[in-house]
Amino acid sequence: MNTKEALKKAVDILKKAQIETAVLDAQIILSNILNIPRWKLIIEDINLSKKQEEEFFEKIKKRAERYPVAYIIEEKEFYGLNFKVNEGVLIPRPETEILVEETLKRIKNKKNPIGLEIGIGSGAISISLLKNKPDLRMIATDISDKAIQVAIENAKIHNVLNRLKIIKTDKIRGINEKFDFIVSNPPYIPLKEYENLMPEVKKEPKEALIAKDEGLEFYKEIIKKGKDLLKEDGFFAFEVGYNQAEKVENILQSYGFKAEKIKDLQQIDRVVIGEKQ
């Protein structure tokens, strides 16, 4: 079977499974197996070995069962870098790049800053910050052994492990250094909204998605305990859910922080920055 035939068959399977991105997903999976750029599949016709064909349709079957593509190919691009991901670790999202961008803007002129990330997951946020700010040091926490293992692997791949210290702990517990900033994309989906999520999202770790108190549980705890860990001109940088920016802004203001909301490409308030006054 050649690539054109394989893709046609795969797209039919995915369309029957009501996968809206059938063509793109099939191309991504096949280009990953063949280790070639996706554009080559469009302009070239390549014969597949029996082993490649079997692997391809095995992975297409998983996609038809609504497994995320990132878990199937075990990688995800984020902020211009490739990150290893696997089941048990939250998949990095394009909107989270805004959180990285806004944090970098605020530390651009700081000399030798130190940051804290709460819930490192795959390491996408901390590693992207470290790659773009060579004098930055990061400390990061996570409760998941699997996430810590993946983050360490990604930090090694991107040569930043010497500037990243990962601590297994719950949120901020046991952390007592002073930081220029605290950044987090915490779980923020209220339990009542979880059932309405897409099947692909439900394949991701539940503990990385759901939060109590209408999704505000982590923000409240991080701000309450983290405020004393920030230096005089320090700041919080949070990703928030589609209807949470104002609530998180209010929490920050109640502790005397000056808050700013930043919109994503869909014009949804996606990031909230809280600066010490």
Q: Tell me, what amino acid is at 109?
A: N
Binding residues for S-adenosyl-L-methionine: 119-123, 142, 185
Q: Can you say which residues are annotated as belonging to the binding site for substrate?
A: 185-188
Best CA proximity match to 223, nearest among 167, 152, 276: 276
Query: Which residue ranges make up the annotated binding site?
Result: 119-123, 142, 185-188
Using CA atoms, how far residue 65 sits from 69, 128, 199, 201, in Å, is 11, 31, 9, 12
Phi-psi bin for 87: left (phi > 0), alpha (psi -120 to 50), beta? beta
Nearest to 238 by CA among 256, 257, 262, 255: 262
Place of tokens 């998605």: 209
Q: How far is Cα 233 from Cα 247, in angstroms, rounded to an integer?
A: 23
